[in-house]
Structures are given as C-alpha cells and as structure tokens.
Structure 1
Amino acid sequence: MLTAAREAVAPSTLDLNRADSELQVIRSERLLSTVFVALKLADHAEFHSLKPSAIQLIGRKLSGIASRSGPFASMPGEEPTVQGANPGPDQRRVAFENFARRFSARRVGQSYVIEIAYDSSDPDLPARVANSAASAYLLQSVAFKADAARSGGEFLQARLDALSAQVDAARLAVEAGQLPSTPTPDADAKIIGAAQLPLGPSAPRKGLILAFGGVFGLLSGLFVGAIASALDRKVRRGQDIPRETGLPCLAAISKIDVLAGAQYASAQDMALLVASEGSQAFVAGIRDLRTAIEIARPADRTGGNFVIAIGSWKPADGATMLTMNLGQLMHLGGRSVSILSANLDAFLTETPDAAPPSTMVDAIAQNLPPERVAFLLFDGMRLLPIRSAIPQLNRFADLREPRAARIVAHARQLGDVLIDLPPFDDSADALALATHADCVILAAAEGSTTFEELNDATEKLRRGGTNVLGVVLDRCQP
C-alpha cells in the first residue's frame, strides 16, 4: 500500500469554527462524489476488490432514500457523466464506499491549514485524488459565488467572465486530478502546495515488522522456555533431589557412551566398568556411593555384612548396572559380595556354557535349603537370579515369605548382599524383596526419571517399613 501524497489548503478568512465547517465540506459525500465521477473511478479495479461490511450494506440501503446526494449528484453548473460501460448501482455504490474509506482530511493543529490524504496501492492515484479534492473545494466555492452574482442582480460582465474562467479552470483541474492552471483569487482558500508522487511505499513497514517479529519471537521463546522449565519435573541436578523428595543425593554417576568402543558392548563388560580404563569419572561416582553406604552402616554392624537393595522406577534407569559395578568395586576392595538380581537375563545368555543356576523363585517352589541354592560365579562375585524361567512360578511366588528371608540370610553369612530390585512400576516384587534389605537406594536417570516417580517409590517403600537411604543420580552429563 502507498500512503497518499498530501494537499494542504489554507482558508483566507476563517475563524476556528468556520474552519471546522469547511473541513466537513471537504469530507462530505457531495464533494467526494464530484471527485469520484470526475476521475472516472467507478470502473477502477481497486475499488471493487474490497467487500462492504454488514453495517455498510445496511447503511447503503438506507442511503438509497437520499440518493440525490449520492456519488452521482452534480456540482453547481455541471452534469457529470461516466464514459464507457456503466456498472450496476450496487457495484457503483461499493466502488464509491471503498473510495471514500481511503480518503481523509484533517486540520493541522489549531491552524487554518487542512491536510488531505488518500491511501492507494496505485502510486499515481493518491496525488490525483488529493489534487482533485482540493480543486473540487475551490470549484464549489467559486461556483457558489458565480450563482450568487447571477441571482442577486449584481452581474458585471468582467466580474462574471473572471469567475467563469476560475470555474472552468477549477473544473478542468478536478477532472485532470491536478491544481487549477490559473489563479483562483475569489476562492475561500489558497493552495499552499501541490501533492507530489510518493517517493516510496509507506506501508507495510518491513523493517519495523521484522524488528517487531524478532523481538516478539525472542520474548515468546523465552516465555515458552520458562513455562517448559517450570513444568519439567524430570530430575536433572543432584541439588534438586533433597528439595523435591526430602532424600539426600548419595552420588552422581557420570554417563558413559556405551557405543564409543567395543569394550563396552556386552552386558558383562558393562558390569565391569569400574575395572576398565578411561572411566575415571564413572568410578569416582561408584566410589562415592560406596562411601555413602559405609557411612550409613549401623554402628552395631561395623565390620559385619550389610544387605543393600538398589531399585529404580523404570527398567532403563540403570539400577542393574549400578548394582553390578558397586558389587565389583566392593569385591576389588576385599569384601565378599553376593548379588541377587531380577535382571540377569543378559548375563545368562552371554554364558551359554555355564551350568543353569538356581533361582530364588525355584528354591522357594522346591523348598530347597539355603545352602543347596547354587550361585553363579562371575568375576569373583556370586550371582543368584531372582525370577524363574517358568513364568507360572513367578506369578505365584511370594518373595516376602520366610524361605526367601532364609536365602537372603544365608547370603549375608557369606558376605555383603546387593539386591537388584525389579522396576517399581512393573510389579510389587520390588517392595517384597526390599523388606529383606537393611536399606534401599533409589536410582534415578538424569533427564528420564521424574520427581513424582521418586516420591511414589519412596512412599511405597516407607509404607512397607523399609529404610530408604537416598538417591543416586545416574547418567549425569560429564
């Protein structure tokens, strides 16, 4: 869109109230219709592209009563006509309303200066309309005086010829969209300056729009980020765990990219990360966890054997890897370690030549004495799967009964016991096994486990009388 060039009109002898009256004359439908007809704008494509509103349609019906003052009324002394094919009355009315809506006139402050403006996508049309409107105002002024001279009997041939010349010059200027070619001293206004073609489009202001869009996008992004951060309930920092759960963060275990090298490809290798090179940060986290456990060991069991259960809400939160590496570190430190795990399937499939071990569920079902339960030896540690290979036995097994407690007690006699609990969202087996432990440690994966999951697991464990020692944050970014 191009903002219209402007035409300024300065009345010669007007008070402020008269200036407002003349401003309404310039805005009147009579004067605009003169410009509309004189410039032959009824067939202009620009004025048929905009659809009138419902209120404008109603106003158009009502204005039919006063059609004499419509866009086809004549100025004094003229009978305007439109050349070429005539559109229907409704189309002409729509075109005129669209034309009038783009036209504006205003006083400049409290002065006698009136500024005329017109908006159009045609770069040539604004100046023509503004100049034609100013000329139409002059035409109306001098035409009224000419008619008054004739009717009042004050006719003087020289005076009439001068006024007629001014009328003809103003009429030609209206039709051409220009200012009169000769002076019009008898008009009630003087032209300050002619409207000029605009130097460039004034709308849309692309630079301002781009700047506003950039600022708005930045603020929107910050707002969305703040909302997402406020609604994000995933564990991301160890400092947030005490505030959100009331449990201490015992250790932060660094993330190890298991795809970085072939030495970390198997489940067995993942259980021996503490003994491998290039995982110092991971080993430091496991060592911190072992220290926290030693500090929490009851005073009456100093030097004795301890039963520790490690569990997580979901299978992929790393409880099994933490249990195996903690057991390996304790074994390397000179302690005897037995691991009871519900997630040893990967280890068993990687040792097809080993004799099938007993399981806790099998021993309970067969009522085996604890000393007859066969443990699987793995790198100095004793492993005992919890779940049976027979699904039906797993469904009916009660892991809280005395036979399960006797198996745990027998393993305690051999050394420290680590219980790798099933996921808390899988079944109640984790809660049943946790009752045999001196304390339970919850494993949380950074960016995966939520505070609600930790709180739910803590509530379930405490409801069963289990001591929850704290939380270890796994897979932390280095």
Structure 2
Amino acid sequence: MNSIHPTHNLGMRFGRGGGSNPSDSDAVDLRELFRMLWRRKWIMIACMVIGTVLSAVMVSQVPPVYTSVAKIMLDPRKSRVIADDAVVAELDLSEQVVNSEVSVLKSNVLVERVIREIGFERLEAMDPANAPPSLADRAKEQIKALVADFRPEPAPEGPALMTPEEARMERLIWAVRRNLAVYREGESYVIGIRVENESPLLAMQLANKLVDEYIAQQLDGRRNTAEQATAWIEQRVEELRDEVEVDEAAVAEYRANSLMMEGGSLDTASLQLAEINNQLMLARADRVAAEARYSQITSTIADDGITAVGNIVTSPVLETLNEERLGLMRRDALWADRYGVNHPERERLANELERVDADIEREVRKIVDQRRSELEIARIRENTMKESLDTLEGRVIEFSRNSIGLNQLERRAAASRQTYEQFLSRLTETRTQEQLQTPDAKLIERAKIPGSPSAPRPKLMTAMGGVAGLGLGIGLVLFLELTSITFRSVGQLERETGLPVLASIPRGNLRTPLSAYKHLLKAPYGIFAERIRHLRTALLMRGKCVQRPSILVISSVPGEGKTTTTVALAQMSVMAGKSVIVVDCDLRRSAMQQAFGWTFKHDLTDFMADRCSLSEAIHSDPEIGFDVLAASSANPLAADQLSAEWLQLTIKQLKKAYDVVLVDAPALLAVSDALVLAQAVDTTVYLVRWDSTRRGDVERGLSALSEMGIKVDGVVMTMIDPKESAAAYAKEYVYNV
C-alpha cells in the first residue's frame, strides 16, 4: 500500500452554467461555423461533384438551341396629312396598350398565319409528333411495359374532334409559342420578338415572319375598317340628302302660310319683348334708387332735423352756405376766448349764423321736393313699361301658339341639314384616309441568322450545377448539425445541463485504461495529460474544502470513458504527490481488472461478504502509483447488496489512509448502482462523450440524480476531437521532459 500524504484540499465552488454568458446566447461564432463546415467538407465536396456531373450529363443530352431576335417600335409620331379625326383611331401608347400589343404578338391567331406562310413542310421538324422520345419518355415507356400485364384494356376512343391537319396545326402552334418570347424593352415603345429553335435559319425566319405578319395584319385591319366606313357613309349621305330636301320644302310652305294669316312673325315680337323687358328693368332700378334716396332724406329729417340733410346731400349752394357757416363759427370761437355772448360782435355773428341756417334749410327743402318729384316720375315710367310688357307678352304668346308647328319643322330641317353636312364632310375624309392608312408599328431591327447556339451553355450550366451541389451540401451539413441529438461543444453542454464543464478531454489512441496510463507515463505534459491535470485541479479545488475528497465518476451509458478517465485522474493525482485509491464499483463488468490483468487474492466482493478485511481486499501493484479496490470478475449478485450506508463507512475508512478516493461507477441508465454510490461520496462528476452521448440520455441521467436529491458538481466532455476544443491550443505549452 502506498504511503499516506495528508494534505488539505482547497476547493472553489463554481456557479451553474458559469462558463456561458447569457448575453452571448444569440451570438454567431463564425469560426465555429467554418470549423463545422470544414469538419464535414467531404459531404459538401461529394454533393458538389454529384451536381457537376449531373449538370454535365444533362447538358450533353440537350440539343443546341439558336436564338434570333427581331424588334419593332410602336410609333406615336404619325404624319398629319389631314387634321380631322381618323376613321381608325391611332394607338394611345399607354402601358396597357403596349402590353396588349405584346399579347397580340403571342396570340395563336398570328402564329397560325405565320405557320401557313412558312408552310407545314418547312416546320416538320418542330412537330412534337415527329420528335424522338426523350430520356424521361423512354423511362415511362419502360415502366409501362413492365406493368402492361396488370393494366386494364384501354377504352375505345370516341370520334375525333379535330382533323389530322387541325391537330398538326395545334401541335405546331404550341411548339412555336413554347419557344417564343415577346417582351417590352424597359419603359420604351420597343417590343422584342425572340425565337428559339434548333435550326438557326428557321429561328430567323420565324422571328421575321412574325414581325411581317403583325405589321401586315395591322395595315389590313385598318384598311378594311376604313373601306367599310366609307361604304356605309356613302349610303347614309344619299339617305340624308333626300330627308333635307323634304324638310326644307315643308318649312318654306308653313312660313308662307303664316305670314299671310297673321301679318307678322314671332321673331319680331320676341325682339320687341326683349327690348321692353330691358327698359322695364332699367325703370325699376331707377325707381328703387329714387325710393332709396328719398327714404334716406325723410328718415334723416325725422331723426336729426332738416338741417342734418345737408350732410348727406350736396349742391353748389349748400357747399357755399356750409363754408360760410364754418367761417362764422371759427370767428365766433375766436371772440368767445375773450368775450361773452352779449358782446356786440358775437351777437352780430350769431345773427349771421341764423341767417345762414335759414338759407340752408330752404335749400334742403328744395332738394327734398326735387327727390320726391324724381320718385313719382320713376314710378309712372315703371308702370307704363309694365303695361306695354303685358300687352306684348300676350301678342308673343299668341304668335308662339301659332308658330309651334313652324318651329318643329325648322328644327327638323336644321338637324337634317347639320347631319347631312357632317356625313358629307366625313365621307371626304374617309375617302382620303382610305389611301393613307399606315400601321402603328414599324420594324427597327430585322432578325439575323445566329452564329452560335444560345443554349445550352455547358461551362455555365456545369458550374451552376456544382454551385447548386455545393449549396445543397452546405444545407445538408447545416441540417445534420442543427438536428444533431448529441453534444458538440462545451457551451452547448453547459446551456443544456446548467452545470459547469470542468474539463474537455481529447480523444487519442487510448483504447483501454492501461493504454491511457502508459500514455501519461510517456507524455506527462502532453495534451491529454494537461486536460486531466485541469480536471484534477478543478476537482481538488471545489468549494466543499474537503480535506480527503471522495470523487464519483459516472456517465449515462457505457463507453463514455469512465474507467479511462478514473485511471488517468488517479495517476495525475499521484504525480501531484497524493496517495490515491481507485474503487471499481462496476461489479457487473469489472473493466479495470480486465484492462490491467491483475490477479487478486481477495477482492471487493470478498470484503463485502466478510471473507477478508478491507486492507486484504486492496490490491497494490508496485508498477503503478495508486492502489485498487475492485472485483476480480463480474458478480451481479454482489451489486445488488450495495447500500449507501455500507459504502459511506467503507469510503470513510479509505479516506483515513488515502488523500483521494476515486470511485468508478457503472452506467447510470444501464443499472441503478450509480444512484447508490452517489449518496456515499463527496463529489460527483458526470461524463458526457463528445458527439456520441444522446441529449435525452444525459437529461434522463441528471433527472434521476436530481430526483434522489444528489447534486452533480460538474460535467466532463470526453473523447472530444482535439480540433474542436481548447486542447488544440495547448500544443504551445507542451514541454519536452
């Protein structure tokens, strides 16, 4: 047995999830993303190669296609030979009109005219019925042949709806329109016609013929419309000429009879009525004005006296008297400053003022009488105009009653003549326009024979296939990563478990606990040794400040490196000068005894059965630096006898002799022994294998411990890829000793 080195274990408590920063939970680690893509680079490369090969194969199966383009412009700048409206309205080139013309160029009516112009024989190669079956069609035929025996007999076909020629025309129209593109160039009035065909000559002919037929169709339509309009207008003019002659003869006869019977006309009476009506309006306005002036004077006399009228009316005499009166008042005001009212000069001035006021009153009365006379005259004139107007209105009414028939005849004759003149003028215009019809579009670029195929483009399509394959590969990698059910990073493990990650142990060629032990002896300062040393420091510095700690190493399922980690931790503690004992409590497999090949005189099961003492059951190997308490073989019955109380007493005895007691437990989800062992130790460490242990297994294992009230002090990620952990940066600190 190793000598005992009593030491004090200084621990530090770590908070849950202390390694992660909640504020950075939404951050994206680009370096981690690139490492993830690089780790699965072969998937992306394979997808890219497959996409490139498939694109190359597909392109090789596609026949070359040639493209020819012709262009027309809808011309709003028309020559105006005549100024009147055209028989066929010109296009108002709005966006809707241009789009409508684009639809006309793609219509099956225009395409049919083009096909008939070129001829069926020239377009025979475009007929889908003559095309060789494609790869997909051949595959369909093979499938149909395989299931032909299981397919019911086809129903007899009914009578054909189209003749063979009509069916061929429909197929050719479909073939031409499928490879036809009509587009508007930006916001201009230019329309492009693009035709694709396997024959460069046929592509040019189709594009040019479409343009020619479209322009010819426009011109023919406008001419036909103008000719039909001219013929109809000529017929209508003849009919209107006869109607005008009849209506005008009826008007002349009625007017002659009216003059003979009444001796006058309605027009003369109407003019007189209008004149008298205007004079009545003027007389009424004069009377209203006279009333207003007289009413103003009378109201002023009633309210302020007759002398106040001088302020609202004027005359040369009144103006002279008012000026004289103002002069007398100013002179009296000067004398009033020094003398009283009894002064002779002031009395004389007062007499003068009385005389002037009397003169003003006499003048005002004259003006009032004058205004009264004006009012009377205005009323008499208005009444006279009313009487004359009433008399003339009676005469007009009489004339109107007698001339109703004449008016009707005149209106009818006027309307007939106006319509006749309009149609006669329109006939002249249509005859002129019939010879001046021009299409609304003109050819600005004729299609030419293409010199090289426009499709397929092998290099571009192959490159696009490779890019698409690469994109698919990246998507597949991201899908695999995002749907992963294992842990691939320390931060992810901390967030999911809420526990601190004490260490991340890299993987290596450490297939057994013995190989791990030998590796530590060979490279005590290598990457693996440094990660174990990091774990040892974290465990010995935990917050309980237990002088001689007992540490339990558990995991969810087998194969997560519990025994290897326990042996490495024991050896690293020995290198730190600690006395260590490893208790292998996996009584169902006894992995440590099998790995080292020890031969026990007494083992753990003998101690449990009281067939030996504790010191006799402990195995000391002089070639290793720590002691072992393990079973020599699998003994499931002994595992059922484990109890927390017995283990606590045993570990207490061991802690009296050893600085560190390491307990290797069986898989938590496989057997329930780990739940018993966890109740007897000071520290519990939970191992999770990188990219292997399922998240659900870890969650169930931690939940089982939590339900038993057992606290897990931390987790350790084992067998991690050195490129994916901080161990990748530890190479700078590896010493050669």
Per the shorter chain, which TM-score range?
0.5 to 0.7
After the TM superposition, which residues 382-397 of structure 1 pair with which residues of structure 2 at under 5 Å, given as runs?
382-386=627-631, 388-391=633-636, 393-394=637-638, 397=640
CA contact (8 A) 1:308 1:437 kept: yes
Structure 1 residues 5 and 41, CA, compared in 2 at 3 Å: closer, same or farther? farther
| Residue in 1 that maps onto 2:197 | 120
Structure 1 residues 198 and 322, CA, compared in 2 at 3 Å: closer, same or farther? same
* Structure 1 residue 98, shift from structure 2 partner: 3.0
| Residue in 2 that maps onto 1:335 | 578
Counterpart CA distance in 1 for 2:518 and 2:472 is 48
Q: Helix, strand or coil for the counterpart of 1:447? A: coil
Deviations 1:1-50 (A, max 9, x none): 33333153778768225997988876665554343123222661323259
CA contact (8 A) 1:142 1:187 kept: no
* Structure 1 residue 310, shift from structure 2 partner: 0.8
| Residue in 1 that maps onto 2:661 | 417
1:271 is aligned to 2:517: yes
* Structure 1 residue 320, shift from structure 2 partner: 0.7
User: Which residue of 565, 568, 576 corresponds with 1:322?
Assistant: 565
User: Which residue of 425, 430, 447 corresponds with 2:691?
Assistant: 447
1:244 is aligned to 2:496: yes
TM norm structure 1: 0.67
The letter of the residue matching 2:205 is R
Q: Helix, strand or coil for the counterpart of 1:93? A: helix
| Residue in 1 that maps onto 2:125 | 45
> Hey, which of these two has a bigger chunk of helix by percent?
2
The letter of the residue matching 1:465 is G
CA contact (8 A) 1:5 1:197 kept: no
1:293 is aligned to 2:373: no
After the TM superposition, which residues 73-472 of structure 1 pair with which residues of structure 2 at under 5 Å, given as runs?
87-100=164-177, 102-103=179-180, 115-136=192-213, 188=438, 192-204=444-456, 224-232=476-484, 234-258=486-510, 267-277=513-523, 279-296=525-542, 298-299=544-545, 301-302=546-547, 305-341=548-584, 342=586, 344-345=590-591, 347-348=593-594, 350-351=596-597, 354-355=599-600, 357-360=602-605, 362-364=606-608, 366-368=609-611, 370-371=613-614, 374-378=617-621, 379-386=624-631, 388-391=633-636, 393-394=637-638, 397-400=640-643, 402-415=645-658, 416-450=660-694, 452-472=696-716
Deviations 1:188-220 (A, max 9, x none): 456545321123333456677667666666665
Counterpart CA distance in 2 for 1:431 and 1:273 is 32
TM norm structure 2: 0.46
Number of paired residues? 399
Give the % identical residues.
Answer: 24
Q: Helix, strand or coil for the counterpart of 1:125? A: helix
Gaps of 5+ in 2: 1-64, 80-88, 134-160, 232-434, 723-727, 729-737
Q: Helix, strand or coil for the counterpart of 2:200? A: coil
CA contact (8 A) 1:252 1:285 kept: yes
In our comparison, the structure showing a higher alpha carbon Rg is 2
* Structure 1 residue 405, shift from structure 2 partner: 4.3
Counterpart CA distance in 2 for 1:216 and 1:349 is 51
Q: Determine which structure has greater relative contact order: mean sequence separation of CA pairs < 8 Å that are 6+ residues apart, divided by chain length.
A: 2
Gaps of 5+ in 1: 52-63, 68-85, 154-184, 259-264
After the TM superposition, which residues 7-26 of structure 1 pair with which residues of structure 2 at under 5 Å, given as runs?
8=72, 15-16=90-91
Structure 1 residues 309 and 272, CA, compared in 2 at 3 Å: closer, same or farther? farther
CA contact (8 A) 1:438 1:467 kept: no
| Residue in 2 that maps onto 1:33 | 112
The letter of the residue matching 2:591 is D
| Residue in 1 that maps onto 2:275 | none
Structure 1 residues 188 and 104, CA, compared in 2 at 3 Å: closer, same or farther? farther
CA contact (8 A) 1:388 1:394 kept: no
CA-based RMSD: 4.4
Counterpart CA distance in 2 for 1:144 and 1:207 is 50
The letter of the residue matching 1:130 is A
* Structure 1 residue 472, shift from structure 2 partner: 2.5
